[in-house]
C-alpha cells in the first residue's frame, strides 16, 4: 500500500507561540523546509483578523467593539478558539495590513509547492458587540478558560440553530475565498478546552452540522479539518455517544479529524476509528514551545503503523502538531520520515546516520552521544506530557517536581562525548546548536540537584549548607547557563523581543508588541494566569527572570532560618509576583546578537560541574 495521503503540519497554538512575529523571509524558510520534508497539508491562518474586522463592520459593530474583542498578536491563537478576548490588545490597523500581505505570499508559495492550504472557518464564537446590534440573537456566554475570569474570557457562543450562525459563517468564508482562493479544506474548533452547554447528542450533532453547513454555504465542496484535542482533554464529557454525535453531524468523509496527541493519548482506538470519519495520526510532542530534550521515539516508531492496521481504520495521514517549534529537531525529522515508511525503523541505526547527516561528517563520539540521548531523554514511554517542569523554569516552592523519565547520567555522558567531538565538528552550526542544547539539559538537571540540596538544608535547619547550595545556584550556575545561552542566536531573549518590535510601525506599537512577547513567555496573562506555561531557556531570561526568582527564594529561606519563623508560600508568591511582573516591564534592552564562544563556555561548565 502507498503511504497515507496526507502529511500534515502546524497546530493552531503554534501561530502564537512560534510564528507570531515572523516576516516573509522567515515564513519562506519554513515553507521551504515543509516542502523538503514532504508536508502537503498545512494551516494558512495568518491575517484572518483583517477579514473578520471587515465582516464585523459590515454587521454593524463599531471599532471600539472590535478593539475590545481582538487580543494582542501574541495571544491570537486563543482569541480564534474563543478562549480569550481583549487581553494585550487591540490590534493596530498596520498589523492587519502587514499580516494580510504575508498571507497572500504564504498561500501563493504553499500552493506553488503542491501543498493543500487549510483556511480558517467560523466556529460559532462571536464578539460581545454583536449582541448590541442584534439584541434578539440566541448567544450563550461560556465559562472562563484556564484561570482567566470574564474580564478577558467567557466568550459568547452563537446557538447553532440561530439563523445568524449561517449568515456570519458563510459571509466570513465567502470573503476569505474571494481574497485568497481555496483548496476546499477549512479548520474550526468550537469546543477547544470549553465545555459544551449540553451533553445531549442531538445538541452536539446540531452544532457540528451548523458549522459544516456554514462552510458548504460558501463552498459546496468543503471539507472540515478538526483538532481532536477536546476528546482526550475532557474525556468525562466526551463519552462515546457524545463523540459519535459530534462527528456524525457531518456527512461521512467530509471531515478530517486530527488525532492530535496520538503518541500518548490516541483517540481512534476508543472511538472505532472516529466512527468512520477520516483521521490523521498526529504527534503533538511539545507544549508551549518549552525547551528541554524530550521525545517518545518508540511510540512514534510504532504508533502510525498500528493505527493503519486497526480494524476498519480510517487513517489518511500523519502529522506534526507541536504547540511550539525550534526545539528537538531530531524528533520532527524522525516523524517526517515515518510518514513515508511501511514499517518501523531500526532507531539506533537511524540516529547514527542522523548524526552524520546533521554534522556533515561521520564522528564516532557524536554518534555515541546521539545513541545515548535516543535511549534516555528521547525515549519517554507510557503517557508522556512534555511540559518542562524543571525547577529551573518554575516558580520556586518547597514542593517542586524533580522527577525524570530517564537516567540523568546518560545526558552527562552525551555532553562529555559531544564536547570531545568539538575539535572535529566545531565548525558545524548544527553541532554548536546541539552542544548548547545538551549542555543546557545538563545544567537543567544540575539545577534540580541544587534545588534538592537547598530544600534538604532548609528542612534540616542547616544554614551553612543552605548558603552553600543556594550561593552556587544563584551566583554561579544560573549566570553560567545564561552566558552559554547568550552565545547562540537561537537561544537569545533579544531575538524574540527584537522580532516583535520589528513588526511595529510606531514606537507605541513596538512597546505593545514587546510587552506581548515578554508576557507570553512568563506570566501568560495579567496575573500569572498560566504562569510559565510557555517557558523558554533564553539568554537574558535565565538571569533576569528565573535567576532573580531563585535569588528571592534562597534569601527568603535564609531569613526564615535566621529568624526562626516559618516559610509561607502564599507570602512568597505575592513577593515573587512583583519580581515576575517587574521583568515584563523592566524596559531593559536585550542583545539580539550572540556573544562568547559556545565551545569554550560549555567546556568551562563541564570542568566545573560534570558529576
CA distances from 169 to 120, 158, 182, 211, 534 (A): 11, 11, 16, 8, 32
CA distances from 590 to 477, 503, 518, 583 (A): 20, 17, 12, 12
Mean predicted lDDT score pLDDT of the chain:
97
Q: What is the pLDDT of residues 193-224, one digit of tens each?
A: 778 889 999 999 999 999 999 999 999 999 99
In whole angstroms, give the CA distance from residue 186 to residue 166.
15
Find out whether 246 and 228 touch, Cβ atoms under 8 Å: no
Question: For the residues 312-319, what does the mean pLDDT come to?
Answer: 98
Asked if residue 540 is part of any domain, the answer here is: yes
Is residue 361 included in any domain, yes or no? no
Q: What is the pLDDT of residue 383?
A: 81
Whether residue 439 lies inside any domain: the answer is: no
In-domain check, residue 401: no
| CATH number of the domain enclosing 500 | 1.20.120.670
Question: What is the percent of the chain where pLDDT is above 90?
Answer: 95
Average pLDDT over residues 333-351: 96
Domain range for 520 is 473-609
Q: How far is CA 26 from CA 198, 251, 264, 273, in A?
A: 43, 38, 31, 37
Tell which of 278, 310, 345 closes a domain: 345
pLDDT tens by residue, 424-471: 999 999 999 999 999 999 999 999 999 999 999 999 999 999 999 999
Measured in residues, the chain has a length of: 611
pLDDT at position 118 is 98
- Determine the pLDDT at residue 191: 84
Q: State residue 387's pLDDT score.
A: 85
Residue the block writes with cell 561528517: 361
- What is the four-CA torsion angle of 106, 110, 115, 121, rounded to 10 degrees? 10
Kindly indicate the confidence band of residue 1, based on its pLDDT and cuts at 50, 70 and 90. low
Among candidate residues 197, 196, 199, 191, the one with its CA nearest the CA of residue 242: 199
Question: Among residues 289, 316, 345, which one ends one of the domains?
Answer: 345
Burial of 592 from C-beta contacts in 10 A (0-12 / 13-18 / 19+): middle
Confidence check: pLDDT of 79 > 80: yes
Mean pLDDT on 117-124: 96
- 232 located within any domain: yes
Q: Can you read off the three cell numbers belonging to residue 124?
A: 460559532
> What is d(CA 127, CA 164) in angstroms, rounded to the nearest whole number?
13
- Give the integer Cα–Cα distance in Å for 393 and 534: 10
388 belongs to a structural domain:
no
**Total domains in the fold of the chain:** 2
CATH of the domain at 283: 3.20.20.80
Distances in whole angstroms, Cα of residue 197 to Cα of each of 131, 157, 237, 520: 19, 10, 11, 30
Among 11-15, 39-43, 385-389, the least confident range = 385-389
- Residue 386: predicted pLDDT: 80
Query: How confident is the model over 383-394, as a mean pLDDT?
Result: 91
Q: Mark whether 478 and 334 lie in a shared domain.
A: no
Say yes or no: 341 and 196 in one domain. yes
Helix, coil or strand: residue 445: helix
Residue 456 inside a domain? The answer is no
Q: CB-based burial of residue 151 (10 Å sphere; 0-12 exposed, 13-18 middle, 19+ buried)?
A: exposed
The per-residue pLDDT for 362 is 98
Helices (H), 310-428: 329-338, 347-359, 364-375, 408-420, 422-425
Which of 345, 363, 394 is the endpoint of a domain? Answer: 345
What percent of the chain is modeled with pLDDT above 70? 100
Structural domain contains residue 391: no
Q: At 436, list the grid cell.
A: 548548547
User: Tens of pLDDT along 473-523?
Assistant: 999 999 999 999 999 999 999 999 999 999 999 999 999 999 999 999 999
- Does the pLDDT of residue 341 top 70, yes or no? yes
Beta strands in 10-79 (DSSP E): 41-43
Q: What is the pLDDT of residue 307?
A: 98
Residue 419 CB neighbours (<10 A):
21
Amino acid at each position: 500500500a502507498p503511504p497515507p495521503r496526507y502529511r500534515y503540519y502546524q497546530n493552531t497554538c503554534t501561530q502564537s507561540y512560534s510564528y507570531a512575529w515572523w516576516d516573509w523571509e522567515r515564513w519562506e524558510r519554513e515553507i521551504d523546509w515543509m516542502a523538503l520534508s514532504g508536508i502537503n497539508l498545512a494551516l494558512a491562518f495568518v491575517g484572518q483578523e483583517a477579514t473578520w474586522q471587515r465582516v464585523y463592520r459590515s454587521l454593524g459593530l463599531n471599532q471600539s467593539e472590535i478593539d475590545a474583542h481582538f487580543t494582542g498578536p501574541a495571544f491570537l491563537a486563543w482569541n480564534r478558539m474563543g478562549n480569550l478576548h481583549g487581553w494585550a490588545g487591540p490590534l493596530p490597523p498596520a498589523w492587519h495590513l502587514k499580516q494580510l500581505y504575508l498571507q497572500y505570499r504564504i498561500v501563493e508559495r504553499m500552493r506553488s509547492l503542491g501543498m493543500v492550504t487549510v483556511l480558517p472557518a467560523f466556529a460559532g464564537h462571536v464578539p460581545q458587540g454583536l449582541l448590541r446590534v442584534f439584541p434578539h440573537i440566541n448567544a450563550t456566554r461560556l465559562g472562563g478558560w484556564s484561570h482567566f475570569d470574564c474580564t478577558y474570557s467567557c466568550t459568547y457562543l452563537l446557538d447553532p440553530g440561530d439563523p445568524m450562525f449561517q449568515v456570519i459563517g458563510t459571509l466570513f468564508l465567502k470573503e476569505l475565498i474571494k481574497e485568497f482562493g481555496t483548496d476546499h479544506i477549512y479548520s474550526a474548533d468550537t469546543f477547544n478546552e470549553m465545555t459544551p452547554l449540553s451533553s445531549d447528542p442531538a445538541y452536539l450533532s446540531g452544532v457540528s452540522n451548523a458549522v459544516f453547513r456554514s462552510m458548504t454555504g460558501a463552498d459546496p465542496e468543503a471539507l472540515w479539518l478538526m483538532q481532536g484535542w477536546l476528546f482526550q482533554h475532557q474525556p468525562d464529557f466526551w463519552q462515546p455517544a457524545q463523540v459519535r454525535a459530534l462527528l456524525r453531524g457531518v456527512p461521512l468523509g467530509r471531515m478530517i479529524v486530527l488525532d492530535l496527541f496520538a503518541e500518548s493519548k490516541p483517540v481512534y482506538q476508543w472511538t472505532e476509528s472516529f466512527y468512520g470519519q477520516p483521521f490523521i495520526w498526529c504527534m503533538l510532542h511539545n507544549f508551549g514551545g518549552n525547551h528541554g530534550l524530550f521525545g517518545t521515539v518508540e511510540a512514534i516508531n510504532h504508533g502510525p503503523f498500528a493505527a493503519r492496521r486497526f480494524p476498519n481504520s480510517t487513517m489518511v495521514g500523519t502529522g506534526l502538531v507541536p504547540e511550539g517549534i525550534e526545539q528537538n529537531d531530531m524528533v520532527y525529522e524522525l516523524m517526517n520520515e515515518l510518514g513515508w515508511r511501511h514499517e518501523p525503523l531500526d532507531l539506533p541505526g537511524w540516529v547514527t546516520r542522523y548524526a552524520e547527516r546533521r554534522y556533515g561528517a561521520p564522528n564516532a563520539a557524536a554518534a555515541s552521544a546521539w545513541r545515548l540521548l535516543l535511549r534516555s531523554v528521547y525515549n519517554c514511554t507510557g503517557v508522556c506530557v512534555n511540559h518542562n517542569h524543571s525547577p529551573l523554569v518554575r516558580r520556586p516552592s518547597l514542593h517542586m517536581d524533580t522527577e525524570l523519565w530517564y537516567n540523568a547520567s546518560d545526558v552527562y555522558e552525551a555532553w562529555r562525548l559531544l564536547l570531545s567531538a568539538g575539535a572535529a565538528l566545531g565548525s558545524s552550526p548544527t553541532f554548536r546548536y546541539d552542544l548548547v542544547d545538551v549542555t543546557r539539559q545538563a545544567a537543567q538537571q544540575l539545577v534540580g540537584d541544587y534545588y534538592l540540596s537547598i530544600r534538604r538544608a532548609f528542612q534540616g535547619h542547616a544554614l551553612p549548607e543552605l548558603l552553600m547550595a543556594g550561593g552556587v545556584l544563584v551566583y554561579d550556575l544560573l549566570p553560567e547557563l545564561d552566558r552559554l545561552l547568550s552565545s547562540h542566536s537561537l537561544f537569545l531573549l533579544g531575538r524574540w523581543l527584537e522580532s516583535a518590535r520589528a513588526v511595529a510601525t510606531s514606537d507605541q506599537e513596538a512597546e505593545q508588541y514587546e510587552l506581548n512577547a515578554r508576557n507570553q513567555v512568563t506570566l501568560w496573562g495579567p496575573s500569572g494566569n498560566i504562569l510559565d506555561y510557555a517557558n523558554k531557556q533564553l539568554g537574558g531570561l535565565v538571569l533576569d527572570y528565573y535567576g532573580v526568582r531563585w535569588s528571592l527564594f534562597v534569601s527568603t529561606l535564609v531569613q526564615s532560618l535566621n529568624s526562626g519563623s516559618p516559610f509561607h508560600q502564599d507570602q512568597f508568591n505575592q513577593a515573587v509576583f512583583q519580581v515576575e511582573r517587574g521583568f515584563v516591564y523592566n524596559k531593559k534592552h536585550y542583545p539580539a546578537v550572540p556573544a562568547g564562544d559556545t565551545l569554550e563556555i560549555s567546556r568551562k561548565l563541564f570542568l566545573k560541574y560534570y558529576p
